[in-house]
Amino acid sequence: MQRALFSVAELRQAIDQLPRTHLAVLPTPLEEAARLSEALGGPPIFFKRDDLTGLGFGGNKTRHLEFILGEALRQGADTIVTGASVQSNFCRQTAAACAKLGLRCVLYLNGEEPDAPQGNLLLDHLAGADVHLVQVRQLPDLIALCEEAAAAERQAGRKPIVVDLWHGIASLGSVSYVDAALELSEQLADLGLMRASIYLSSATATQGGLELAARALGLDWQVVGISPIRTDLAPADVVAGLANEAARRLGLDWRIDAADIENQEDYIGPGYAQPTTEAREALELVASTEGIFLDPVYTAKAMAGLIDHVRAGKLDPSRPVVFLHTGGTPALFAFNHWYAPAQ
């Protein structure tokens, strides 16, 4: 275990200095998943239910947006421009948050126009976002399109802010997960649990925030990020970069090296948002033992990683596991072809 570099009060005070707009229902529950642990013959497993953050079907991005949109409002923005995949949960929660705050929302979504919108795309439309479907080689390439759109918004007299999920303002998402880690550590302490392995789907800000909080507070947590996506960027570099940028925003004299981040790319399968047998099994196992629905793109792949680690005997059976459920469940409805009868 490492030495605490900062106290809980110092972290809370640093977080409270930053602009924030309240969007999420907090704290989210921490629930024991006894039937799942029994089915796996593994360590005690708990779910941190960040799929229940409330706004627009919930998810980790609602926490991120409290700080990202808090900062955007402080800068006087009236328009948010962002981009990700066609079934992006971030974009759906951004559309919902913008609707609630009366901001214009412009989305660049990578993917094909479906015959009829489903899942998150349907919700983007319902929330009134200005949706553009485009095709790029990989998701970070969307940012150039967002910058062009922001220039046009400026021409039209509006005050846009571009949210690039891989850099810059996205580090405020990590700040929100420093806050979430304080919440989780209190919930674990109430159960007398002082050590844990934390599994989550992340390749960017969420893991960055957990790493920062766990290390700054000297918590006995092993954070294991499972990446949902392969890009030209190494996930450990992105996670470390966002964690370090979040520390800077919080005024903390702290840095992490990418070499100290554990982020695995072994469970992506053929590619981002492409189903894997293991993810489908994980989704079905969790639904049928706990009545909790994972999503096909992120959390089911992270759970497939956890299940594989339990089965391979990689986990200490006495060390509790917290699975951070980051949400994403609306995408399930766009993946109903998983259940289409074989032709």
Ligand X SMILES: Cc1ncc(COP(=O)(O)O)c(C=O)c1O
Query: Any idea which residues carry the catalytic annotation?
Result: 88
Q: Which of 37, 53, 60, 185 binds ligand X (CB under 6 A)?
A: 60
**Sheet of 130-134, strands arranged across:** 130-134, 104-110, 79-85, 160-163
**220-226 and 45-49 beta bridge pairing:** unpaired
How far apart are CB 60 and ligand X at their closest, in Å?
Answer: 6
Q: Are 305 and 282 in contact (CB under 8 A)?
A: no
67 is an interface residue for ligand X by CB under 6 A? no
Q: Are 84 and 111 in contact (CB under 8 A)?
A: no
How far apart are CB 204 and ligand X at their closest, in Å?
Answer: 4
d(CA 150, CA 203): 26
263 is an interface residue for ligand X by CB under 6 A? no
Q: Which residues of 306-319 are buried (b: 16+ CB within 10 A; e: fewer)?
A: bbbbbeeeebeeee
71 is an interface residue for ligand X by CB under 6 A? no
**Residue 100 CB neighbours (<10 A):** 15
Binding segment for ligand X (CB under 6 A), chosen from 142-150, 215-223, 282-290, 321-329, is: 321-329
Binding segment for ligand X (CB under 6 A), chosen from 130-138, 263-271, 305-313, 322-330, is: 322-330
120 vs 153 by CB, closer to ligand X: 120
Count of positions (residues) in the chain: 343
320 vs 327 by CB, closer to ligand X: 327
How far apart are CB 52 and ligand X at their closest, in Å?
Answer: 12
305 vs 327 by CB, closer to ligand X: 327
296 is an interface residue for ligand X by CB under 6 A? no
H helices, E strands: number in the chain: 11, 10
Among the listed residues 181, 173, 202, the one whose alpha carbon sits nearest the alpha carbon of residue 11: 181
Q: Which of 42, 56, 320, 327 binds ligand X (CB under 6 A)?
A: 327
How far apart are CB 194 and ligand X at their closest, in Å?
Answer: 25
Q: Are 325 and 50 in contact (CB under 8 A)?
A: yes
How far apart are CB 164 and ligand X at their closest, in Å?
Answer: 12
Q: Which residues of 210-231 are buried (b: 16+ CB within 10 A; e: fewer)?
A: bbbbbbbbebebbbbbbbbbeb
Q: Which of 121, 205, 226, 268 binds ligand X (CB under 6 A)?
A: 205
11 vs 205 by CB, closer to ligand X: 205
How far apart are CB 324 and ligand X at their closest, in Å?
Answer: 9
56 is an interface residue for ligand X by CB under 6 A? no
Q: Which of 59, 119, 140, 305 binds ligand X (CB under 6 A)?
A: 59
The footprint of ligand X (CB under 6 A) covers 59-60, 89-90, 173, 201-207, 295, 298-299, 326-328
